């Protein structure tokens, strides 16, 4: 079985780039025959220039980050927006994501207020020597779900892992991905997504002349009763299995 027309964008959060465990693991995963017809693009944080967020909050207020013109973040955002499936990874550094991964995520924090990645599936990936995968996976899941993504799987890598364990996980993720394409109504939102949707909807309904409230209005988001309804309407796209 093949997944047709799937656009995959991979973000590798290790400064070791193509030498990193995550990069090798993700590339292995993407060798699975189900991805034969996929369009795959990737970036590794060691090869791009992403400045630290300056905390000016212009992105929240205007939808524009002044740094996007100076570094690669504008291009990276477009690649995230164009993808159907986003695979994001980070090595475990002191039981958290790497600094480079966090810097990149900080720059799109405001997308959590507008669910900018609604309708996309995500896979979160973490690599460790011994411990801490659970914290990184949990954080990446929280970030991706706050952007509106439906997380189809978790790819964890650790030194003692066997090839069989890895392959079993690959199969599980592919199964969930295919299932989510065949029937988007099985993509249950998280409690966090539902709560975030209700809170933001209530806040923006009473606001105007504000970028986020305007975005909700222009994108017809107020018409959805729940995040669930909103998400289902966007997950049925032109991807075929
Ligand atoms: C700064 C730093 C902090 C790390 N912290 C941890 C840690 O808390 N727990 C752990 O088991 N491994 C830790 N490691 C090891 C890496 O998570 C491990 O080598 C990982 O596989 C590297 O992934 P990569 O090859 O994809 O870059 C740390 C490594 C570095 C460089």
pLDDT grade for 241, boundaries at 50, 70 and 90:
confident
Whether pLDDT at 236 is above 80 = no
Nearest to 65 by CA among 108, 30, 104: 108
Question: Which domains can be identified in the chain, with CATH numbers?
Answer: 7-235 (3.40.50.360)
Position in ligand 1 atom list of the atom nearest CA 95: 8
Q: Which atom of ligand 1 is nearest to the CA of 130?
A: 11
CA–CA distances in Å: residue 33 to residues 52, 196, 213: 38, 37, 43
Predicted confidence band of residue 114 (pLDDT cuts 50, 70, 90): very high
Query: Is there a contact between 153 and 177 (Cβ–Cβ < 8 Å)?
Result: yes
57-103 pLDDT per residue, tens: 999 999 999 999 999 999 999 999 999 999 999 999 999 999 999 99
Residue 237 has pLDDT above 80, yes or no: no
Ligand 1 geometric centre to CA of 125 (Å): 13
> What pLDDT, in 10s, does the model give residues 157-168?
988 889 999 999
pLDDT for 69 equals 95
Mutation probe of ligand 1 site: the residue of 45, 87, 92, 126 with most atoms within 8 A of C-beta:
92
pTM of the model: 0.97
Place of tokens 């944080």: 45
pLDDT tens string 10-63: 999 999 999 999 999 999 999 999 999 999 999 999 999 999 999 999 999 999
Sheet containing 39-44: which strands, arranged edge to edge? 39-44, 7-12, 85-91, 121-128, 150-158
């Amino acid at each position: 079985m093949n997944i047709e027309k799937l656009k995959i964008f991979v973000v590798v959060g290790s400064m070791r780039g193509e030498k990193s465990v995550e990069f090798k693991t993700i590339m292995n995963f993407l060798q699975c025959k189900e991805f034969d017809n996929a369009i795959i693009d990737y970036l590794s944080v060691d090869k791009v220039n992403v400045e630290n967020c300056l905390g000016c909050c212009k992105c929240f207020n205007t939808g524009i980050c002044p740094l996007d013109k100076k570094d690669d973040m504008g291009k990276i955002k477009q690649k995230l927006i164009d993808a159907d499936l986003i695979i994001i990874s980070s090595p475990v550094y002191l039981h958290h994501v790497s600094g480079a991964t966090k810097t990149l995520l900080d720059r799109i924090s405001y997308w959590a207020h507008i669910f900018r990645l609604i309708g996309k599936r995500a896979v979160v990936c973490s690599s460790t020597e011994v411990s801490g995968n659970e914290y990184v996976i949990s954080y990446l899941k929280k970030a991706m779900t706050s952007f509106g993504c439906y997380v189809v799987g978790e790819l964890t890598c650790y030194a003692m892992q066997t090839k069989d364990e890895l392959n079993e996980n690959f199969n599980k993720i592919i199964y969930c991905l295919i299932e989510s394409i065949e029937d988007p109504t099985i993509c249950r939102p998280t409690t966090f997504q539902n709560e975030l949707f209700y809170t933001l909807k209530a806040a923006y309904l009473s606001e105007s002349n504000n970028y986020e409230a305007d975005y909700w209005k222009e994108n017809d988001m107020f018409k959805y009763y729940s995040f669930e309804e909103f998400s289902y309407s966007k997950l049925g796209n032109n991807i075929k299995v």
